[in-house]
Amino acid sequence: MMFQAMLLTIITASTPLVIAAIGELVTERSGVLNLGVEGMMVMGAVGAFAAAHYTGSPLIGVVAGIATGAVFSLLFGFLTLTLVANQVATGLALTLLGLGLSGQLGEKLVGAPGVQLMPIDIPVLSGLPFVGPVLFHQDMIFYLSIALVIGVHWFLFRSRRGLMLRAVGDSHASAHTLGLNVLRIRYLAVLFGGGCAGLAGAQLSLVYTPQWAENMTAGRGWIALALVVFASWRPARVLAGGYLFGAVTIGQLYAQALGIGLPSQFLSALPYAATIVVLIAISHNRRTTLINTPAALGKPFVPDR
């Protein structure tokens, strides 16, 4: 029973990482580097919690979280795609803005009762031993995360529009020459990434801990960014990596509960230490990284006038 409870907690902790990372993967596949995932996540969290709190509907909260993250991402898109501002600096500024603005907007919501998004009970399947509660008695956002991974994989590697997006990410000049609307494709990719980040934030404030607390994302946006590199910009690897990082996060909590003789500060730092170790390991395999990295990632595009 303890292993089953731990597995359920890992799934809940991993879901926002997978969703945020899959959205950022699509954004980066288009050649745009958005470091503002943390800011979009926390804005999605406060938007979702506020909407659910005032309406009493967690579904409205989910929609509000997606919309908040998407709208916030448009600010990044306008600055970097239309005004051609530096993508790294703008992404960092977006994170700082999101953290500060969410704290201001959610000031009156601290300690307010939350509205939890309840699990969906799938008849018959949810009653199966062990796998029933783990796979067939989960909340809607968990199933959306799995659908997003499958859908994004199909879109990128099995559809014509996915091929167009990857072409823009690999060489925006060549794509523009062929008649593709580079800015439109990148705007849509940024919007999708923002919506996913907002959905990840909504999961935090409606499922993971159904309440609002300032800075409740706690660096998960940065882990999602590292997860994209860890996955070599492949959707299936995002799913595996997300659950790996989720397991490390929950593992350190169980280690503290069991009283393992290690400082609690060290155990709390484990998820972030694991992120650094993974990035160092990946950097040694430069060939694989270069093959999968979108060639135009982070490079500005100014159409011929």
Q: Give pLDDT, residue 283.
A: 65
Predicted pLDDT at 155: 97
Distance CA(179)–CA(16), nearest Å, equals: 36
**Phi, psi for 17 (deg, rounded to 5):** -65, -45
Q: Is residue 297 part of a domain?
A: no
- Does the structure show a pLDDT above 70 at 284? no
| CA distances from residue 117 to 62, 103, 106, 209, 291 in whole angstroms, order as listed | 9, 23, 19, 10, 41
Which residue range is the domain that position 228 belongs to? 2-109+148-292
pLDDT tens digits, 223-265: 999 899 888 899 999 998 899 888 888 877 777 666 666 676 6
Q: Check if the beta carbon of residue 103 is closer than 8 Å to that of residue 215.
A: yes
**Which is nearest to 87 in space by CA: 277, 236, 294, 305?**
294
Assigned domain for 211 exists:
yes
Mean of all residue pLDDT scores within the chain: 90
| pLDDT at 193 > cutoff 90 | yes
C-alpha–C-alpha distance, residues 270 and 24, integer Å: 23
Q: Is 197 exposed, middle or buried (0-12, 13-18, 19+ CB in 10 A)?
A: buried
In a domain, 35, yes or no: yes
pLDDT at residue number 285? 66
Of 283 and 40, which is predicted with more confidence?
40
Residue 132 lies in a domain: no
Distance, C-alpha 291 to centroid of its chain: 23
Q: What is the pTM of this model?
A: 0.93
Average pLDDT over every residue of 155-171: 96
Give the confidence band of 125 by pLDDT, cuts at 50, 70, 90.
confident
Question: Could you give the angle at the alpha carbon of 280 between the alpha carbons of 295 and 199, nearest 5°?
Answer: 65
Report the CATH number that the domain containing residue 267 is assigned in CATH.
1.10.3470
33 lies in some domain: yes
Residue type, 70: A
Quick one: tokens of 236?
């299936």
Instruction: Residue 126: count other Cβ atoms within 10 Å of its Cβ.
Output: 17
**What pLDDT, on the 0 to 100 scale, is given for residue 246?**
86
- The total domain count for the chain is 1
Residue 49 forms part of a structural domain: yes
pLDDT at 199 over 70: yes
Kindly indicate the confidence band of residue 126, based on its pLDDT and cuts at 50, 70 and 90.
Answer: confident
Q: Is residue 299 part of a domain?
A: no
- State the average pLDDT over residues 6-32: 95
In a domain, 152, yes or no: yes
